[in-house]
C-alpha cells in the first residue's frame, strides 16, 4: 500500500537544530540588551560608525544610548537630542559641564565616586537650563554612562501606585531612577506653588538620599531659589520640600546659575 509523503519532513529542507543553538532572533535580543556575546562564543561585532567608545562593548554602548533617547522621548524632548556641549552659549556654563562630565566618566572607569555628586542649575524661566543639561546627557550617554532624564513632577507621578506604565511597578520605577549613573532631574520643585505633600517630600528625599548613598550623580534644573527671603518672597525649595531636603541637596554639590533672557519668549509681545 503506497504511503503519502506530502507531509513528511524532508531531511534536505528541515535540519534539526543543535542543542542550545542560538537563533538569530535570540541573538538580536541579547545584543540589544547589552549581553557580552564573547561569553557565548560569538564573534565580536564590527566597530560602530557613530563614534562610540572603543573600550565600551558596542551592544552595551548602543543600549545605553537608546535608554537615554527613550527617556528624552518620554519627556517629549526629542528636539533636545541634537544639542552638544560645544553648541551651548558661554552663559550656559559648557566648560563647567564638560569638566563635570569628565570627572563622572573617570570615576566610572576606576570604579570610584566623583568628588561632586550633585550639580544644581538654577535660573530664570527660559534661560537655557534644560538645553544645557540635555546636551550634558547626550554626551554622557555616548561616553559609557547610564543616563536618564525625567521631570521631577513626572517622577512623583510614576511613583504613585497607579502612576506608572502597566508593566512597571512603583518599586521598579524607583530602582530604574536610583541605579542610573547620571540622572537629570528637570524642573525640580516645578508645579509646586506651596508646601509639598508628605508624599512628595518623602519620595524626593528618598530619591536624593538613595542616589547619594550609592555614589551616583544627579543634575537638577530649577526656577526656584533655595529659600524665600524678604527681597525674594516667592517660596523656595526649603519652603516647599523642607530644610532637611535642602540640606541633602547641597551635600557634595556644586551650584552653577544660568541667567539670561527667556529664549522661549516671542520677540514681539502677543496682544491678547
Per-residue model confidence as pLDDT tens for the chain (272 residues): 454 444 444 444 445 555 455 666 666 666 555 555 555 555 555 544 555 444 445 678 889 999 999 999 999 999 999 999 999 999 999 999 999 999 999 999 999 999 999 999 999 888 899 999 999 999 999 999 999 999 999 999 999 988 777 778 889 999 999 999 999 999 999 877 666 789 999 999 999 999 999 999 999 999 999 999 999 998 999 999 999 999 999 999 999 999 866 666 655 666 66
Cell numbers placing 141: 550617554
Enter the pTM of the model: 0.75
Instruction: Parse the chain into domains and list their residue ranges.
Output: 76-255
CA atoms of 153 and 89, how far apart (whole Å): 28
* 76, burial (CB in 10 Å: exposed 0-12, middle 13-18, buried 19+): exposed
For 195-221, letters b (16+ CB in 10 Å) and e give ebeeebbebbbebbeebbeeebbbbbb
CATH of 76-255 given 3.30.365.10, 1.25.40.10, 1.10.150.130, 3.40.50.300: 3.40.50.300
Amino acid at each position: 500500500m503506497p504511503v503519502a509523503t506530502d507531509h513528511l519532513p524532508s531531511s534536505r529542507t528541515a535540519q534539526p537544530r543543535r542543542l542550545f543553538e542560538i537563533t538569530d532572533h535570540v541573538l538580536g535580543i541579547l545584543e540589544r540588551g547589552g549581553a557580552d556575546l564573547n561569553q557565548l562564543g560569538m564573534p565580536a561585532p564590527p566597530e560602530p560608525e557613530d563614534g562610540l567608545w572603543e573600550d565600551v562593548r558596542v551592544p552595551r554602548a548602543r543600549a545605553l544610548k537608546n535608554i537615554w533617547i527613550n527617556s528624552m522621548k518620554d519627556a517629549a524632548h526629542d528636539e533636545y537630542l541634537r544639542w552638544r556641549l560645544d553648541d551651548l552659549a558661554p552663559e550656559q556654563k559648557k566648560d563647567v559641564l564638560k569638566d563635570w562630565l569628565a570627572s563622572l566618566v573617570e570615576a566610572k572607569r576606576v570604579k570610584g565616586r566623583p568628588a561632586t555628586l550633585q550639580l544644581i542649575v538654577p535660573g530664570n524661566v527660559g534661560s537655557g537650563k534644560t538645553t544645557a543639561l540635555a546636551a550634558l546627557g547626550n554626551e554622557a550617554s555616548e561616553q559609557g554612562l547610564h543616563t536618564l532624564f525625567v521631570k521631577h513632577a513626572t517622577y512623583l507621578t510614576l511613583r504613585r501606585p497607579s502612576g506608572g506604565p502597566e508593566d512597571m511597578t512603583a518599586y521598579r520605577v524607583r530602582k530604574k531612577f536610583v541605579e542610573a549613573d547620571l540622572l537629570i532631574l528637570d524642573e525640580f520643585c516645578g508645579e509646586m506653588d506651596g508646601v509639598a505633600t508628605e508624599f512628595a517630600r518623602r519620595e524626593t528625599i528618598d530619591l536624593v538620599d538613595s542616589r547619594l548613598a550609592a555614589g551616583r550623580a544627579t543634575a537638577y534644573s530649577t526656577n526656584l531659589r533655595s529659600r524665600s527671603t524678604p527681597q525674594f518672597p516667592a517660596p523656595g525649595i526649603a519652603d516647599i520640600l523642607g530644610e532637611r531636603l535642602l540640606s541633602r541637596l547641597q551635600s557634595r554639590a556644586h551650584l552653577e546659575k544660568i541667567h539670561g533672557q527667556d529664549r522661549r519668549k516671542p520677540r514681539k509681545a502677543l496682544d491678547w
